[in-house]
Amino acid sequence: MGGLGQGKITTLLYPCLVMTQLDGDRLPQILTALEQQLAHQNDLLERIALALEQSEFALPGGSAPGSSSGPNYEVCLSQFKTFDWASIDATVEYADSDGVATVIWRGHRYVRRSAENKFKPAIWFSRSTGRDDEGNVRYAKLATFSLRPKAEPLPSKVKDMQAS
């Protein structure tokens, strides 16, 4: 971060110092003390900003850079074509006739995948994070677009409890 040099401090504070009628001989000492205090406060603010940035990764949907798991945002399949990637701080890198194909999120490339099998239809964006102890490839998912499950009806005893 750019600091305030003595010239800037002098420019900013000199009118205040004159108004308080401080001895002009002490002005350089006062300005040096103020500059040291401001430098210390700037250092503290930088530490706070860094801590806040790092704490963001502990929030739901966050993932530390280099970690082996992604946030795996869950989105309705019908929103795939119109999904706002910027809303999760991702950048579309490439799209094809089927839609978005690759995105960049926190410095990592996530590729669109989909399987044709017995499971429900889904599209997901993932990246390889290496291999586990057994040699299996591990993946981090950024987002999964799938059908929303239907809610089950509430049992009558639960409905009765709500009515009372």
> pTM for the full model?
0.54
Residue partners of 61: CB distance under 8 A and separation at least 6: 71, 73, 88
Structure tokens at 33: 């003390």
Cα–Cα distance between 29 and 16 in angstroms, integer? 15
pLDDT of 147 above 70? yes
pLDDT digits (tens, 9 = 90+) for 107-124: 999 999 998 877 788 999
Domain limits of the chain? 6-56, 73-146
**Amino acid letter at 106?**
R
- 103 touches 142 (CB < 8 A): yes
pLDDT digits (tens, 9 = 90+) for 95-110: 999 999 999 999 999 9
pLDDT of 1 above 50? no
How many other C-beta atoms can be found within 10 angstroms of the C-beta atom of residue 49? 11
pLDDT digits (tens, 9 = 90+) for 40-98: 888 888 777 766 665 544 444 444 444 457 889 999 999 999 999 999 999 999 999 99
Residue partners of 75: CB distance under 8 A and separation at least 6: 83, 143, 144, 145, 146
Three-state SS at 145:
strand
Cα–Cα distance between 105 and 83 in angstroms, integer? 15
